Amino acid sequence: MKKFVAVGHWDGNTNTTSAAMEHQSKALAERDFRLNGFRAYIVLTEKAFREMQEMDCFELYEKVKKLTSNYRKYNEITDYIEQCADIMEQKLERC
């Protein structure tokens, strides 16, 4: 089982947040996030998340651009990862 963390929002709420779960594959994790009412902008493996924590803001922005086609959310996702990495870390540890 691999751990995945997603950045997105819950149905009926537009505030950006994160959620984490353990699953066999990224595709199944994305499906379960959707079924649970979480609309993910990006879904990261634990390894990818750790790599992103080490990046500076410009590298992180370029990585986010490659992970989502929603260009309106590039800055929002990058800021969330930079500012809330500790929250994402805690969610990964709990799952």
C-alpha–C-alpha distance, residues 92 and 69, integer Å: 25
Q: What is the pLDDT of residue 95?
A: 83
Q: Specify burial of residue 32 (Cβ count, 10 A radius: 0-12, 13-18, 19+).
A: middle
Cα–Cα distance for residue pair 20/3, rounded to 1 Å: 7
The pTM assigned to this predicted structure is: 0.91
| Integer angstrom CA distances of residue 15 from 9, 50, 94 | 6, 23, 22
Consecutive 10-residue averages of pLDDT for the chain (95 residues)? 96 95 95 96 96 94 94 95 96 92
